[in-house]
Amino acid sequence: MKILSNGLVIGAMTMASVLGSQAAQSAEQLVWRAGTAKGKITPAEPFWMAGFASRTKPAEGTLHDLWVKALALEDGRHQRAVVITTDLVGFPKKVADWICDHVEKECGLQRSQIMLTCSHTHSGPVLKDALLDVYPLDDKQRAMIDQYTPILERTVVKTVTEAFAQMTPATLAVGMGECGFAVNRRNNVEKEVAAAIAQHKPLKGPVDHSVPVLAVRRADGRLQAVLFQYACHNTVLTTSYLYSGDYAGFAQIALEEKHPDCLAMFAIGCGADQNGLPRGTVEICQKYGNDLAAGVEAVLAQPMKPVGANLHSEFEIINLGFEGNLTVEKLLAAADKGGFYTRAAKHVLQRMLELKAQGKELPQSYPYPVQVWRLGTDQLWIALGGEVVVDYALSLRAKYGPRTWVFGYSNDVMAYIPSSRVWAEGGYESGAFNVYFIAAERWCHDIETRIKAEVERLVARSKSVP
């Protein structure tokens, strides 16, 4: 009887293994459907540009147009999702929420199925509720921002609906390339970088030179879209007053010129502490863009790993706490620094006093978005809000495998997101709350642990779904 029982167990296990193998095989054989669309978001007027607090006037023209692009996907089980890329410095929470609410309603999606990303170009327009006090805006400019932001929101939603309306059978494949111009800006003196490179001296600090690439091909094999990523600030054009996507804009242009029927889409990785160096001219910016495009082309030219038509998405908001005691005295001291520091301190002080008059206190945490997608069997996409430093990408890829992509600046760009190392070291990327006007001193000391714990939970949840 015991032998029979073991035999039954072994037989059941063997049958389950066979059925599991067949299910996995059938999932790999299912066909994707994909649709793409894009919409121009270049302001029609001389708008104030987002990113650099040192600017003293609005834009003066256009180097190349700005775009929102959407890649709509449907797997073999009719699970749908959309990746949205934009030539913007980032979406503030209110704008992101409006867009996602309307995409959910018009396209029948859940929040987890919408990945809202940006290139973090510093040569795009300022948006409502995003870093407004960084810039010396007059009433006219504020009115222009208020008028433009709803137009942008509607354009994003329209682009997504168009992408879903154009879905056709497709195949997906992934690969990994390299590009080397990103430099850790915390650990290297910018004016010394060019000489160090010329003398072949090693640069300091962690970097992520990987270029993840997703190729979407039509049923006839033609390239329909290429989505790629790089972990580096789009801040090469430091003195420009022309709208552009910076190096990422040039990279997309180069790829679309090489593949006229293809939509090239860029989403920034964990590049909060990375700059393209040296920098400053259009020629250098275009070179970096062409170098990045060449890295993508090298991947496209080699055999790529097919992605099975199976998609699962997860999304959660976690409350990331603050530490420190922000007081009226500290804000008044900050207001003496001048420039945007003064504007930021006055803004937060006013908010603090208004809340106190209502018997309330400043918020002690921020609602932080974490998103995980699993494509096929082993392609993992992790999208994190805020300006995420490079440590996250390096450590999460080491933990979950080389087919892991880590998107920064996704769904809500509210502040810098330091690793434990950067939090302990301090400095600009440890939070920069005075730039983003979060009414707190700094993030909680275990910010990296909390974010990664939520990532781990969502990754586990994605594995549990067949």
Domain ranges of the chain: 32-311+368-415
Q: What is d(CA 300, CA 304) in angstroms, rounded to the nearest whole number?
A: 7
Q: What's the farthest any 2 CA atoms get from each other in the chain? A: 87
CA separation (Å) from 248 to 220, 267, 269, 276, 289? 28, 9, 12, 11, 6
Is residue 82 within 8 Å of 70, Cβ to Cβ?
yes
Strands 387-388 and 114-116: unpaired
In angstroms, the CA 376 to CA 26 distance is: 11
Give the tens place of pLDDT for each residue, 70-106. 999 999 999 999 999 999 999 999 999 999 999 999 9
Q: What pLDDT is recorded for position 6?
A: 37
Positions in the chain short of pLDDT 50: 1-29
Position 347 scores a pLDDT of 78
pTM: 0.92
Query: Residue 30 has what pLDDT?
Result: 66
Q: Are 91 and 116 in contact (CB under 8 A)?
A: yes
- What is the pLDDT at residue 1? 34
Task: Decide if 172 contacts 307 (C-beta within 8 A).
Answer: yes
- Name the one residue in this structure whose structure tokens are 């006037």: 57
